[in-house]
A = this chain, B = another copy of it.
Amino acid sequence: MSVLVVGSVAYDGIETPMGKTDRIMGGSASYISITSSFFANPVRLVGTVGKDFDEKDLELFKFRNIDLEGFKIDQSGRTFFWKGRYHDDFNNRDTLDTQLNVFENFDPVIPDAYIGSRYVCLGNIDPKLQLKVLDQVSTPDLVICDTMNFWISGAKEDLLKTLKRVDVLIINDSEARELTNQVNLIRAAEDIRKMGPSILIIKKGEHGAQLFSDEGVFAAPAYPLSEIYDPTGAGDSFLGGFTGWLARTKDHSPENLRRAVIFGSVMASFCVEDFGPNNFKELSEYKIMDRYEEMLRMSHIPKVP
């Protein structure tokens, strides 16, 4: 089934304890579209970049068979640029530079051919723009949304309006706490599900993720990695794997939502094993399935005889 992805496409300058890169493609829409393309077809990308956007990065999207009708190259300026440095524990980072460039005027226009998309992914952008996207599409099967502390503290009213129209919210634990003023995540989840999303996923980095739905709680581990190179894009890759699996199977049952969470974790684990989206260039379906099986084995709780 069709997946529509709306969000940022950017260049990132990244420094982690494992190395450094001055300029590598990033942005929520890049990661979401690339990772969901391993499962679903067509994947449609709505985003804007500047005149400095590299041909090789465009080639990666094309290689992943991503529909670029809604992808605009704005010759009037440069691509959104972010520079950051991760701390030794990879959990915290300092932003060293942010240049919005052409992204400052990003106003998502959904091409006619995209309006009937069945799965709509709202990457982490201004909730006003997320709403604008929802106003343009017809009746999708599922709306999946990300956000961040910046919008929770700075645009809460708009965000609450967006959440009313969202089926799945995927955020991290600190965002869930900030959105609800609840320290306890179980209570935070209850409160968030009253805001609109019937399905909530709270990501906890190396500690895995929790899925909250009418079925109750599903606790998923993170895939254990002894080497992490770059956490950038892990959350977006999670969202892409999760959505891609659901779009491929068209099955929103509790069982299949669990599978989608695990595919999200698997795509996030591949993401952090190299800088930027590099690890997705040669990733195979076989490797994805293999890691799924490993997660199944490592989480298995035997019955009591």
> What residues make up the interface of A, taking CB atoms closer than 8 Å to B?
17, 88-90, 183-187, 190, 204, 206-208, 210, 216-222, 224-228, 255-256, 258-259, 262, 289, 292, 295-304
* B226 A219 Cβ-Cβ under 8 A: no
Q: Please, which residue of chain B has its CB at the minimum distance from the CB of A186? A: B226
Q: Return chain B residues, CB-CB under 8 Å to A300.
A: 218, 258, 301
Q: Return chain B residues, CB-CB under 8 Å to A298.
A: 216-219
Q: Please, which residue of chain B has its CB at the minimum distance from the CB of A211? A: B298
* A303 B296 Cβ-Cβ under 8 A: yes
Q: Return chain B residues, CB-CB under 8 Å to A255.
A: 302
* A301 B207 Cβ-Cβ under 8 A: no
Chain A interface, >50% SS class: mixed
Q: Please, which residue of chain B has its CB at the minimum distance from the CB of A91? A: B183
* B206 A301 Cβ-Cβ under 8 A: no
* A226 B299 Cβ-Cβ under 8 A: no
User: What's the minimum C-beta distance from A293 to chain B, rounded to whole angstroms?
Assistant: 8
Q: Return chain B residues, CB-CB under 8 Å to A210.
A: 224
Q: A187-B226, A219-B221 are in contact. Are A258 and B301 (CB under 8 A)?
A: yes
User: What's the minimum C-beta distance from A292 to chain B, rounded to whole angstroms?
Assistant: 6
Expressed in whole angstroms, the Cα–Cα distance for A221 and B186 within the complex equals 14
Expressed in whole angstroms, the Cα–Cα distance for A217 and B186 within the complex equals 26
* B184 A228 Cβ-Cβ under 8 A: yes
User: What's the minimum C-beta distance from A255 to chain B, rounded to whole angstroms?
Assistant: 5
Expressed in whole angstroms, the Cα–Cα distance for A110 and B121 within the complex equals 64
* A296 B292 Cβ-Cβ under 8 A: no
